[in-house]
Amino acid sequence: MSLLEVNDLSIRYDVGDDDVHAVDGVTFSIDRGETYGLVGESGCGKTTLAKSLIHLLDSNGYIESGEMWFDGTLPRWENERGEPRREIIDDDQYPVREDGMTDLAQLDDEQIRDVRWRNIALIPQSAMNALNPVYKVGDQIVEAILRHEPHTPREEADQRARDLLERVGIEPDRADDYAHEYSGGMKQRAVIAMAMACSPDMLIADEPTTALDVIIQDRILDELDELQEEFNVSILVVSHDISVMAEICDQLAVMYGGKIMESGPKKEVFQQSANPYTLGLKNSFPTVKEEQSELVSIPGSPPTLLDPTDKCRFVDRCPFVVEECHSSHPPMYGVSSGETGRRAEADDPQTHRTACYRVDELETMRTEAGKEETWQATTQNR
């Protein structure tokens, strides 16, 4: 069952005459207890998308259109004594669907404050540098608990903070240390512990392993995996490294220029990639398990998101361009193996889908995308 359904979401930043179209018509869904990966190059809109879910966009950012339906068991139903807040439930204006899902996009500031931490917790990009240097790490977790559960006695919050640290592999006594006494991996774990403080339904981890060495990266990923299993929490992981994502995700979405180019079950997206951009991205990262002789980067740079034109976002860097690619950005086509007539638009965001007009020529594209000269030719054509 879906915990989150995002439909046709567009987010912009107001920067003057033209807006930055940071996220453009994105649709995806995350099930309860699922790990969903969002991958793509720097600047493609990953952080914007993640932060928009809990209205933490920069002040010039805004949701232009779209829906973000979230499973209805939100803390707004309770007051500080855990009693239902009837006046809100009875409000006809409240954005609740018949099945109990709530549209996060329509919540006001007070309502979304209830959702943050208690329902959806964010581990922000570069979070480990954000621990406050002048407070003990344990106190920072206690503060997070008390801010969202003010009725909890301090001693109980203190014990919970120590338990949480222990849960992520840090000795409870280290709660009395300051952040500078922690290693990079410990800081990242402490931030994960803090995010879990209120047992959220969903954890958003924005680049949780960037800046960590490979061994620590692996441990952090294992940690997230274990938390997901133990607490049945859904995790939205954001990364630019598709190999990292292939390790831990159930579902994967590949973003480029504010659009989802390919999405679906991780295995299918990673092993039977169906979009030229995914194929290019895979070439440029070392895989953990398979042998790979050399890395091939995608020549060129991502498109401007300032008022983008309506052609395929990848058109300037794609080695497989045909005339149709210049007409408009492709819809999401279903990717099904071996069937004739497979070029049909697919609605279910959990199935394997690709935004590419050449979805019927996958085998050729896969073979060609593995060759360095294919990508070099793109540069020469430009």
Ligand X SMILES: Nc1ncnc2c1ncn2[C@@H]1O[C@H](COP(=O)(O)OP(=O)(O)OP(=O)(O)O)[C@@H](O)[C@H]1O
| Token pair recorded at residue 7 | 């439909």
Residues 6+ apart with CB under 8 A from 156: none
| Alpha helices, H only, 101-241 | 109-115, 137-148, 154-167, 184-195, 214-231
Decide whether 46 or 162 has the Cβ nearer to ligand X: 46
Q: How far is the CB of 316 from ligand SF4 (least distance, A)?
A: 8
Residue 382 bridge partners (DSSP): none
| Contacts of ligand SF4 in 294-313 (CB under 6 A) | 312
Residue 13 bridge partners (DSSP): 20, 61
Other Cβ atoms closer than 10 A to 196: 23
Nearest to 41 by CA among 301, 370, 305: 301
| Contacts of ligand SF4 in 348-367 (CB under 6 A) | 356-358
Q: Does 227 bind ligand X (CB under 6 A)?
A: no
> What Cα–Cα distance (Å) separates residue 85 from each residue in 75, 111, 141, 152, 158?
9, 12, 27, 19, 28
> Directed axis angle between helix 137-148 and helix 154-167, to 10°?
120
Decide whether 257 or 276 has the Cβ nearer to ligand X: 257
Q: Does 69 bind ligand SF4 (CB under 6 A)?
A: no
Between CA 240 and CA 170 the distance in angstroms is 27
Identify what 312 binds: ligand SF4, ligand X, Mg ion, none; CB under 5 to 8 Å per kind. Answer: ligand SF4
> What Cα–Cα distance (Å) separates residue 372 from each residue in 160, 302, 381?
53, 19, 15
Other Cβ atoms closer than 10 A to 59: 7
Q: How far is the CB of 244 from Mg ion (least distance, A)?
A: 14
| Contacts of ligand SF4 in 254-293 (CB under 6 A) | 275-276
Identify what 276 binds: ligand X, Mg ion, ligand SF4, none; CB under 5 to 8 Å per kind. Answer: ligand SF4
CB of 232 closer than 8 Å to CB of 32: yes
Instruction: Write the single-letter amino acid at 346.
Output: A
CB of 161 closer than 8 Å to CB of 175: yes
Decide whether 101 or 123 has the Cβ nearer to ligand X: 123
Q: How far is the CB of 269 from ligand X (least distance, A)?
A: 18
Q: Does 321 bind ligand SF4 (CB under 6 A)?
A: yes
| Contacts of ligand X in 28-57 (CB under 6 A) | 40, 42-48
Q: Does 240 bind ligand SF4 (CB under 6 A)?
A: no
Q: How far is the CB of 365 from ligand SF4 (least distance, A)?
A: 8
Q: Does 112 bind ligand SF4 (CB under 6 A)?
A: no
Q: How far is the CB of 244 from ligand X (least distance, A)?
A: 13
Number of residues that bind ligand SF4 (CB under 6 A): 13
Residues that bind Mg ion (CB under 5 A): 47, 125
- The residues of the shown chain that bind ligand X, judged by CB under 6 A, are 13, 15, 20, 22, 40, 42-48, 58, 60-61, 125, 240, 305
Q: Interface residues with ligand SF4 (CB under 6 A)?
A: 275-276, 312, 314-315, 318, 320-321, 325, 330, 356-358
